[in-house]
């Protein structure tokens, strides 16, 4: 099956619209519509299968170091090997086009105990054609082979949707359709997504499936969505933090599902909530540089419209019995602790009183613990990579173990939260740690995961 420019234009429009394209669809609706790996059981041996892999990894010296995403792919790749398929893994590493997947291919080979050759320079970017020698190499490969295409982000076409606007859909549709059809014609006509973390609008994740005869979710990705992700939708306690204020949208969507009873917030998210709570309660709450228009170009700046959004969230949430907990002291740039930020000051971590308050609130949650209690933790409390500002994050980690020991299911949304657990705690302190922070927030928050949108539409075709 090939795709047309018209079909790709509609796909682009749908992807860029996000939730607005299908506001009635929830995560479970997307998952029900997408076939799983076993649906490809009838694909014959010696068939080429394109695998969108989670290859954005930094392998260490030995297996088990920096390669958790690669190891997550083993179940799917071994399934293909057992079926006798020729699997062509492709994907990105980092954001810089110069980066190579050479070490990733070598490590994947070590994990699978087979050679995984890296195919470089596989796309003629001028004509957007897959090079003939690549097609010939795949055709000549024996059954059970695993090959890897070089970093997809080396090619501009992979990244054209990152900053695209709806008005760009028509002009981008032709080139993107050409890329998808070339891969279908010269690489493979069956496609498996086994890249949980690949939640960006990369063409390899969102456009290429449109030209495929068959699509499926890989073993690991399907298990993550069907199991832990669906459990997180039922969270009663969320611990939300981080520098990106757009997480407020995700929190708002999570609250809207009606299960959350308590929110512990830090970072920029907490700044907006703290200002909102202050205004609702008739109290002043200074955010320091975070509300100074002179810092409007900085990621920590809180625009006024975000405060208004937070006020609506808090007002509505309180009417439903939700307890919003925000920091009551802050560690600023010189390492000192202040209870109220002044002009020119910036919060780099929560202070000791905030930590004590959070611990108290965890205790209250456990005292009233609902049946089948679920807690979701995302982000870190400060600039924890600097030892001067790590105490909030470091000293809170044992609270996750405290909850799990008390019978609460505790999930960490990947990213920095997962790094913090690895640095300050133990894996068994929580029920599950995701390997993809951004994708998890999309799935649990307001916007659909782009590759699920694409796979659902491809499966319908």
- What is residue 51's predicted lDDT score, i.e. its pLDDT? 98
What are the residues whose beta carbons fall under 8 Å from the beta carbon of 363, sequence distance 6 or more? Answer: none
Give the range with max mean pLDDT: 88-102, 236-250, 256-270.
Answer: 88-102
Distance in angstroms (rounded) separating the CA atoms of residues 373 and 351: 28
Per-residue tokens: 363? 């205790």
- What is residue 231's predicted lDDT score, i.e. its pLDDT? 93
Distance in angstroms (rounded) separating the CA atoms of residues 93 and 77: 19
In what helix (H) or strand (E) does residue 180 lie, and over which residues does it extend?
Answer: helix 169-186
Distance in angstroms (rounded) separating the CA atoms of residues 443 and 243: 19
Q: What is the SS3 string spanning 361-404?
A: HHHHHHHCCCCCCEEEEECCCCCCCCHHHCHHHHHHHHHHHHHH
CB 229 within 8 A of CB 452: no
Per-residue tokens: 140? 């000549």
Per-residue tokens: 338? 């202040």
In Å, how far from its chain's centre is CA 231?
Answer: 16
- What is residue 382's predicted lDDT score, i.e. its pLDDT? 86
Question: 247-256 and 304-319 helices cross at what angle (nearest 10)?
Answer: 20
Distance in angstroms (rounded) separating the CA atoms of residues 303 and 86: 51
pLDDT in tens, 58-91: 999 999 899 999 999 999 999 999 999 999 999 9
Give the range with max mean pLDDT: 130-139, 367-376, 434-443.
Answer: 130-139
- What is residue 437's predicted lDDT score, i.e. its pLDDT? 76
Check pLDDT > 90 for residue 459: yes
Q: Is 234 exposed, middle or buried (0-12, 13-18, 19+ CB in 10 A)?
A: middle
pLDDT bin (cut points 50, 70, 90) of residue 249 is confident
pLDDT bin (cut points 50, 70, 90) of residue 422 is confident
- What is residue 428's predicted lDDT score, i.e. its pLDDT? 93
- What is residue 400's predicted lDDT score, i.e. its pLDDT? 96
Mean pLDDT (the chain) is 93
- What is residue 277's predicted lDDT score, i.e. its pLDDT? 94
CB 214 within 8 A of CB 43: yes
Exposed e or buried b for every residue in 335-369, given b needs 16+ CB within 10 A?
eeeeeebeeebbbbbbbeebbebbeebbeebbeeb
Check pLDDT > 90 for residue 364: yes
pTM, 2 dp: 0.89
- What is residue 425's predicted lDDT score, i.e. its pLDDT? 87
Give the gyration radius of the chain's Cα atoms: 23
Check pLDDT > 90 for residue 309: yes
Check pLDDT > 80 for residue 414: no
Cα→Cα distances 187→90, 190, 202, 272, 385, Å:
11, 9, 18, 49, 42
- What is residue 99's predicted lDDT score, i.e. its pLDDT? 96
What are the residues whose beta carbons fall under 8 Å from the beta carbon of 260, sequence distance 6 or more? Answer: 235, 236, 237, 238, 254, 317, 322
In what helix (H) or strand (E) does residue 456 lie, and over which residues does it extend?
Answer: helix 450-460
Distance in angstroms (rounded) separating the CA atoms of residues 57 and 62: 13
Domains contained in the chain, CATH given:
5-223+448-460 (3.40.50.1260), 233-430 (3.40.50.1260)
- What is residue 146's predicted lDDT score, i.e. its pLDDT? 98
Check pLDDT > 80 for residue 251: yes
pLDDT in tens, 215-241: 999 999 999 999 999 999 999 999 988
- What is residue 50's predicted lDDT score, i.e. its pLDDT? 98
Give the range with max mean pLDDT: 52-61, 368-377, 429-438.
Answer: 52-61
What is the mean predicted confidence (pLDDT) over 432-440? 84
pLDDT bin (cut points 50, 70, 90) of residue 461 is confident
CB 74 within 8 A of CB 111: yes
Cα→Cα distances 456→31, 303, 426, Å:
8, 35, 37
Distance in angstroms (rounded) separating the CA atoms of residues 56 and 47: 26
pLDDT in tens, 387-407: 888 898 999 999 999 999 999
SS3 195: coil
């Amino acid at each position: 099956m090939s795709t047309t420019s018209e079909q790709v234009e509609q796909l682009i429009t749908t992807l860029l619209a996000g939730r607005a394209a299908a506001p009635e669809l929830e995560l479970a609706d997307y998952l029900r519509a997408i076939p799983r790996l076993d649906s490809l059981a009838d694909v014959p041996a010696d068939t080429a299968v394109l695998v969108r892999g989670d290859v954005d990894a930094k392998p260490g010296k030995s297996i088990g170091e920096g390669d958790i995403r690669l190891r997550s792919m083993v179940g799917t790749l071994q399934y293909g090997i057992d079926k006798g398929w020729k699997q062509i893994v492709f994907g990105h590493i980092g954001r810089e086009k110069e980066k190579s997947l050479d070490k990733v291919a070598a490590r994947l080979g070590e994990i699978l105990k087979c050679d995984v050759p890296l195919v470089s320079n596989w796309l003629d970017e001028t004509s957007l054609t897959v090079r003939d020698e690549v097609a010939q190499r795949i055709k000549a490969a024996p059954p059970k082979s695993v090959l890897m295409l070089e970093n997809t982000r080396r090619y501009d076409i992979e990244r054209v949707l990152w900053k695209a606007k709806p008005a760009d859909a028509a002009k981008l549709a032709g080139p993107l359709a050409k890329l998808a059809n070339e891969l279908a014609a010269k690489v493979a006509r069956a496609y498996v997504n086994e890249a949980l973390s690949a939640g960006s609008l990369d063409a390899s994740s969102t456009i290429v499936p449109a030209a495929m005869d068959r699509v499926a979710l890989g073993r690991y990705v399907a298990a993550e969505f069907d199991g832990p992700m669906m459990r997180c939708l039922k969270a009663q306690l969320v611990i939300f933090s981080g520098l990106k204020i757009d997480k407020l949208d995700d929190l708002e969507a999570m609250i809207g599902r009606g299960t959350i009873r308590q929110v512990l917030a830090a970072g920029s998210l907490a700044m907006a909530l703290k200002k909102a709570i202050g205004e609702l309660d008739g109290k002043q709450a200074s955010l320091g540089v975070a509300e100074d228009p002179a810092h409007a170009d900085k990621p920590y700046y809180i625009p006024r419209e975000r405060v208004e959004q937070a006020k609506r969230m808090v007002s509505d949430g309180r009417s439903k019995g939700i307890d919003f907990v925000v920091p009551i002291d802050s560690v600023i740039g010189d390492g000192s602790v202040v209870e109220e930020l002044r002009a020119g000051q910036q919060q780099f971590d929560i202070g000791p009183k905030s930590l004590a308050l959070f611990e108290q609130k965890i205790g209250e949650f456990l005292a009233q613990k609902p049946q089948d209690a679920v807690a979701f933790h995302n982000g870190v409390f400060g600039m924890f990579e600097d030892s001067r500002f790590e105490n909030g994050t470091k000293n809170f980690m044992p609270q996750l173990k405290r909850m799990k020991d008390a019978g609460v299911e505790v999930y960490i949304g990947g990213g920095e939260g997962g790094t913090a657990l690895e640095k300050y705690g133990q894996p068994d302190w929580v029920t599950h740690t995701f390997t993809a922070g951004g994708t998890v927030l999309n799935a649990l928050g307001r916007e659909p995961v782009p590759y699920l949108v694409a796979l659902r539409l491809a499966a319908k075709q």
